[in-house]
Amino acid sequence: MKIGIPKEIIADENRVAMIPRTVGELVKKDHQVLVEAGAGERAGYADEAYTEAGAQLVDGAAELYEQSGAVVKVNRLSHHPELGKHEAELLKPETTIVGLLDPLNNPGNLQQLVDKKLTVFSMEFLPRITRAQSMDVLSSMSTVSGYKAVLVAAESLPRFFPLLMTAAGTIPPATALIIGAGVAGLQAIATAKRLGAKVFSFDTRPAVKEQVESLGARFVEMELEEEAETESGYAKEMSEEFYRRELEAIGNQAERSDIIISTALIFGKKAPILITEEMVENMQYGSVIVDLAGSNGGNCEVAEPGESVVKHGVTIHTPLNLPATLPYHASQMYSKNMSNFLSEILQDEAQGYDFDNQVVADTCIAAGGEIRNDLVRNALQGKDE
């Protein structure tokens, strides 16, 4: 198959979908890989490295899309500023497109792909099964986000992170609260501990307490009468009483914290508000919040997605794409995940895609002009209404 790797065109996106090393692995498996000239430059990967790996350089997105049977991207397709067309218009009918396509937040974008009868694999829907762990781009990018979030907080905090014994006296360590102990949260805990902070972590799932404590953080507990996650391992919406207790537990710790990193997301839903404006008011002057749920509205009531603001003396960062700020390693991780995924779905190219394979079936949200995923279908119907 001819696999195309275009240059990402969304603002401030510095990652590339495939790096030279993994391109070389695909070439060895008899795939032809086309790379748009300059695709890897912002991530630190030169065109020469791609050609040395066996890729063919292509001058421009239009030619790349015209020649490719499958296109691998990082972000959703969007309007191309140089060509004056949407990327979907550049794709040939029945092409395969793979990436973090965010269909639930961009149903109109997806409709263009359906109308052209493209086969669409959206990596957000990768099943949480053992066999798919090596393909889990969401976990990889969450690792990057959790690490970088603490660095963002450290840069803004007008205090030291570690305990310091100086001639001018003893300086106590900063106190960090990490909300959510998923992949991003655990990486944030580990990073904050490395920088010397006293770290607390809150999560509604008692099962993660051991993981939190193994990293040297203290687990903030609350009384639970409901199961807080779905069978698939995602967080789920809870009752009003549960939510009230959750806010109480977070609020008690928040007012004693110098930094808060919030990572709570509910798949396919608006992010829950876990840091109220009252909590922000009660925090120490100069404290910092980094809200990693900005793409779904944010966990902080007064956050402004994509912006950094100061409210009640507290700096609130709500970045939308932290992995793009560490593009070299973020691309390396993403690329390896995608190489594993392509190896899975292209096992028998002549026979087409095996929809009895759970990895294929769950991630393929559209094929042959039809929506295959109920969540995505409902999102499209909601748009039409």
Q: Work out the end-to-end distance of the chain between its first and last CA atoms, rounded to an integer number of angstroms.
A: 39
Number of domains forming the structure of the chain: 2
Query: Is residue 17 pLDDT above 70, yes or no?
Result: yes
User: Quick check: is 128 catalytic?
Assistant: yes
Query: Is residue 385 pLDDT above 50, yes or no?
Result: no
What is the domain extent for residue 62?
2-135+327-384
Are 313 and 334 in the same domain?
A: no
The predicted structure's pLDDT at residue 181: 96
The predicted structure's pLDDT at residue 94: 85
Are 107 and 54 in the same domain?
A: yes
- Alpha helices by DSSP H, listed for the chain, are 20-28, 47-52, 61-67, 87-90, 107-115, 137-156, 183-194, 209-214, 240-254, 277-282, 327-345, 358-363, 374-384
Catalytic residue among 42, 50, 65, 136: 136
Q: What is the CATH number of the domain that holds 95?
A: 3.40.50.720
More confident position, 203 or 112: 203
Report the amino acid identity of residue 149.
A
Percentage of the chain modeled with pLDDT above 70 = 94
Spell out a b/e string for 304-328, using b for 16 or more CB atoms within 10 Å of the CB, else e: eeeeeeebeebbbbbbebbbbbbbe
Are 117 and 196 in the same domain?
A: no
Report the amino acid identity of residue 383.
K
Distance CA 89, CA 113 (A): 9
Query: Is residue 60 pLDDT above 50, yes or no?
Result: yes
User: Quick check: is 139 catalytic?
Assistant: yes
* SS3 label, residue 371: strand
Catalytic residue among 102, 234, 295, 358: 234
CA distances from 295 to 102, 152, 175, 298, 325 (A): 10, 17, 26, 7, 16
Are 91 and 158 in the same domain?
A: no
Catalytic residue among 111, 112, 139, 308: 139
Q: What is the pTM of this model?
A: 0.91
Query: Is residue 265 pLDDT above 80, yes or no?
Result: yes
Are 10 and 52 in the same domain?
A: yes
User: Quick check: is 334 catalytic?
Assistant: no
Q: Given 325, 352, 370, which residue is the final one in a domain?
A: 325
Distance CA 365, CA 120 (A): 6
- Give the pLDDT mean for 38-59: 97
Are 65 and 202 in the same domain?
A: no
Catalytic residue among 12, 131, 133, 244: 133
Are 17 and 62 in the same domain?
A: yes
* C-alpha neighbours within 13 Å on the C-beta side of residue 52: 8
- Reported as a single tens digit per residue, the pLDDT across 131-182 is 999 999 999 999 999 999 999 999 999 999 999 999 999 999 999 999 999 9
Geometric angle at alpha carbon 30, from 26 and 32, rounded to 5°: 70
Distance CA 373, CA 385 (A): 18
Residue 153 CA from chain centroid, whole number: 19
- Reported as a single tens digit per residue, the pLDDT across 316-327 is 999 999 999 999
Are 19 and 148 in the same domain?
A: no
* SS3 label, residue 361: helix
Are 316 and 336 in the same domain?
A: no
The predicted structure's pLDDT at residue 225: 56
Q: Given 274, 302, 325, which residue is the final one in a domain?
A: 325
Per-residue tokens: 147: 């690490």
Are 103 and 213 in the same domain?
A: no
Are 288 and 373 in the same domain?
A: no
Q: Given 274, 298, 325, which residue is the final one in a domain?
A: 325
Sequence-separated (6 or more) residues with CB below 8 Å from residue 351: none
- Reported as a single tens digit per residue, the pLDDT across 215-251 is 999 999 887 655 555 555 555 556 788 888 899 999 9
- Reported as a single tens digit per residue, the pLDDT across 283-317 is 999 999 999 999 999 999 999 999 999 999 999 99
Are 183 and 303 in the same domain?
A: yes
pLDDT, averaged across the chain:
92
User: Quick check: is 136 catalytic?
Assistant: yes
User: Quick check: is 133 catalytic?
Assistant: yes
Taking only Cα atoms into account, the Rg of the chain, rounded to an integer number of angstroms, comes to 22
